[in-house]
C-alpha cells in the first residue's frame, strides 16, 4: 500500500508536468466557455487534496511544530482575516485572493514535512527537465511559424477574449509572459543540477532564445541575471567584455530599430519610456503610495482587504492625477505593482508581516547554505536565493506571486533544495 508521503510526491510530480500543458489539454474539451474557465481549478483541486492528505498524515504523527517562519505567516493570515471582517469585501473574493497567494507556500511547508529520500528529491528535477524539454520543443515548432502548428498549440481564449493578439512564442500557454516565466524559472532550477557542460550550454542558449521570443523582458533579464550571478566572479573580464560588445553591436548595427524585442528592451533606458510609464503605465502607480496615508487609521494599519468598491472610490477621489492604467480599472491596474496592491489590501501590518515571513525564509535558506558541505547542494540553494531576490524585485512590476508558472515551481523546488534529507549522509 502506497504511503501518504509517496502519494503526495506523486501528485506533485503530476502537477509539474500538467501545469505547463493545462491549456493544451483543456482546449479540446467540448464544453462551453464558462465551464472551460472553471476547469482551470483542476490544479488547485489537487493542491487541496495534498493539503487534506497532509492533515490526515499529521493527525497520526507528532504535533505541529511552530517556527518563526510559520508564526509570521500565521499572524499574517489572522491580520488578513481581520482586515476582511472590517471591510465590505465579499468572502469569495477574499478567499480566492488569499488562496492564490498562499496555495504554493502551503505546498512548500508540506514537502518539508513529509518523508522523502535523496532519490525522490532528485526525481523532482528529472520530471521538471522533461517538462522543460517539452516546452522548448514546442517553442522550436512555433519558431517555424507554420499556421497549422500554431493553431494546434494556440490556447483557447475562453470567456475573456484577448483584445490585442501577441506576436510572441507562447508554447502551450495563453500569454507569452507565462511561457517566459516557465522557461526562466526552470532554467535557474535545472542549471546547477546539470553536470554536463554540453547540456549547460544548451540550457543557457535555449533559455536566452525562448525568454527573448516570449516577449517577457523580465524573464529574459532574469536568465541573463542568473548567468551573471553564477559566473561573474570567476569570469569578470570575459562577461563584462561580452556585455559591452553586445551593447555596442546593437547600437552600431542599428539592429535595435529593426528587432522589436531588443528595441523594447533598450527602451527601458530611454527618457521617453520613463515619462510614458509615469503618465500612463506602471511607474505612475507609485504616485498612490502617499495617497494611501490619507486613508483612515483602520485602512492604514489593516488595509482595505479586497473591497473593490472601497479601493476604487478612495483612488477616484483624485481621479485627475491617477495614471491612465488606474483610470481604466483601478483594481486590475493596481496589481501591476503588486507590492503597492499588497499595501492597499493588507495595510502596514500586513505588508510588514509578509516581509518578515520572506526575511525569515531568506535567513533559513542562507543558514542551510552555510551548513551544507556539498558543492552541488550549495549551488541548488544558490538558485533558490537568486529566485527570492528576483521575485521581490519583480513584485514591483507585476503579479509574480500570482503567476502559476513561477510561484508553483519556486516553492516546490525551494522545499526540494532545502529538505532535511539533503543533509543525510546515507
Biggest CA–CA distance in the chain, Å, is: 68
Residue 210's contacts (CB-CB under 8 Å, 6 or more residues apart) are 136, 139, 169, 179, 180, 183
**Distance of alpha carbon 216 from alpha carbon 405, whole angstroms:** 13
Cβ atoms of residues 360 and 93 within 8 Å? no
- Is 130 inside any structural domain? no
Domain of residue 361, residue span = 66-114+282-426
Record the cell numbers describing residue 268, joined without a space: 527601458
- Is 189 inside any structural domain? no
Residue 217's contacts (CB-CB under 8 Å, 6 or more residues apart) are 264, 265, 268
Record the cell numbers describing residue 71, joined without a space: 508564526
- Is 356 inside any structural domain? yes
Record the cell numbers describing residue 181, joined without a space: 516565466
Burial class (CB within 10 angstroms; exposed 0-12, middle 13-18, buried 19+) of 411: buried
DSSP label of 30 = -
Predicted pLDDT at 249: 47
**Distance of alpha carbon 235 from alpha carbon 140, whole angstroms:** 31
Instruction: List the helix and strand counts (H, then E) for the chain.
Output: 22, 0
* CB atoms inside a 10 Å sphere around CB 159: 10
Cβ atoms of residues 303 and 350 within 8 Å? yes
- Is 296 inside any structural domain? yes
Record the cell numbers describing residue 301, joined without a space: 494599519
- Is 211 inside any structural domain? no
**Distance of alpha carbon 70 from alpha carbon 129, whole angstroms:** 31
Integer-rounded Cα Rg, in Å, for the chain is 22
DSSP 3-state percent helix, strand, coil across the chain (nearest 5): 75, 0, 25
- Is 398 inside any structural domain? yes
* CB atoms inside a 10 Å sphere around CB 219: 29
Record the cell numbers describing residue 111, joined without a space: 514537502
Record the cell numbers describing residue 110, joined without a space: 508540506
**Distance of alpha carbon 19 from alpha carbon 15, whole angstroms:** 6
Find the angle CA(164)-CA(167)-CA(172) to the nearest 5 degrees. 95
The residue ranges of the chain whose pLDDT is under 70 are 1-2, 59-65, 159-165, 233-282, 424-426
- Is 236 inside any structural domain? no
With b for 16 or more beta-carbon neighbours within 10 A and e for fewer, the 63-87 pattern comes to eeeeeebeebbeebeebbebbbebb
Dihedrals φ, ψ of 75, to 5°? -65, -40
Terminal CA-CA length for the chain: 25
Predicted pLDDT at 323: 77
Side-chain-facing half-sphere of 165: CA atoms under 13 Å: 4
Cβ atoms of residues 9 and 114 within 8 Å? yes
Cβ atoms of residues 219 and 181 within 8 Å? yes
- Is 39 inside any structural domain? no
Cβ atoms of residues 350 and 342 within 8 Å? yes
DSSP label of 64 = P
Strand segments, DSSP code E, in 292-367 are none
Q: How many domains is the chain built from?
A: 1
Write the CA distances from 396 to 64, 130, 131, 338, 399, integer angstroms. 35, 32, 29, 6, 8
Predicted pLDDT at 235: 63
Residue 372: closest CA among 328, 416, 420: 420
Helix (H/G/I), strand (E/B), else coil: 349? helix
Amino acid at each position: 500500500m502506497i504511503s501518504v508521503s509517496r502519494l503526495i510526491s506523486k501528485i506533485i510530480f503530476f502537477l509539474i508536468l500538467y501545469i505547463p500543458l493545462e491549456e493544451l489539454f483543456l482546449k479540446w474539451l467540448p464544453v462551453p466557455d464558462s465551464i472551460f474557465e472553471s476547469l482551470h481549478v483542476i490544479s488547485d483541486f489537487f493542491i487541496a487534496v495534498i493539503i487534506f492528505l497532509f492533515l490526515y498524515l499529521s493527525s497520526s504523527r507528532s504535533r505541529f511544530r511552530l517556527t518563526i517562519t510559520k508564526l509570521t505567516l500565521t499572524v499574517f493570515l489572522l491580520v488578513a482575516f481581520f482586515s476582511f471582517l472590517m471591510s465590505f469585501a465579499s468572502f469569495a473574493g477574499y478567499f480566492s485572493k488569499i488562496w492564490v497567494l498562499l496555495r504554493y507556500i502551503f505546498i512548500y511547508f508540506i514537502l518539508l514535512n513529509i518523508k522523502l529520500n535523496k532519490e525522490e528529491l532528485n526525481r523532482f528535477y528529472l520530471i521538471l527537465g522533461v517538462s522543460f524539454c517539452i516546452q522548448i520543443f514546442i517553442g522550436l515548432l512555433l519558431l517555424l511559424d507554420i499556421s497549422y502548428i500554431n493553431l494546434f498549440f494556440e490556447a483557447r481564449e475562453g470567456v475573456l477574449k484577448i483584445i490585442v493578439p501577441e506576436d510572441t512564442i507562447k508554447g502551450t500557454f495563453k500569454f507569452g509572459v507565462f511561457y517566459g516565466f516557465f522557461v526562466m524559472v526552470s532554467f535557474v532550477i535545472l542549471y546547477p543540477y546539470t553536470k554536463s557542460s554540453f547540456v549547460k550550454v544548451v540550457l543557457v542558449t535555449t533559455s536566452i532564445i525562448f525568454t527573448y521570443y516570449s516577449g517577457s523582458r523580465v524573464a529574459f533579464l532574469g536568465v541573463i541575471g542568473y548567468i551573471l550571478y553564477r559566473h561573474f566572479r570567476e569570469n569578470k573580464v570575459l562577461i563584462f567584455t561580452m556585455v559591452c560588445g553586445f551593447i555596442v553591436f546593437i547600437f552600431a548595427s542599428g539592429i535595435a530599430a529593426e528587432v522589436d524585442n531588443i528595441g523594447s528592451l533598450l527602451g527601458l533606458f530611454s527618457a521617453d519610456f520613463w515619462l510614458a510609464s509615469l503618465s500612463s503605465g506602471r511607474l505612475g502607480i507609485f504616485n498612490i503610495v502617499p495617497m494611501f496615508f490619507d486613508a483612515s487609521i483602520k485602512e492604514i494599519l489593516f488595509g482595505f482587504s479586497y473591497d473593490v468598491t472601497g479601493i476604487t472610490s478612495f483612488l477616484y477621489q483624485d481621479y485627475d492625477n491617477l495614471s491612465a492604467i488606474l483610470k481604466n480599472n483601478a483594481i486590475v491596474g493596481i496589481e501591476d505593482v503588486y507590492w503597492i496592491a499588497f499595501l492597499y489590501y493588507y495595510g502596514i501590518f500586513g505588508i510588514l508581516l509578509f516581509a518578515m515571513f520572506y526575511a525569515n525564509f531568506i535567513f533559513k535558506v542562507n543558514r542551510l547554505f552555510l551548513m551544507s558541505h556539498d558543492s552541488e547542494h550549495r549551488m541548488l540553494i544558490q538558485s533558490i536565493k537568486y529566485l527570492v531576490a528576483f521575485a521581490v524585485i519583480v513584485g514591483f512590476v507585476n503579479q509574480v506571486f500570482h503567476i502559476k508558472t513561477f510561484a508553483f515551481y519556486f516553492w516546490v523546488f525551494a522545499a526540494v533544495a532545502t529538505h532535511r534529507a539533503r543533509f543525510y549522509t546515507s
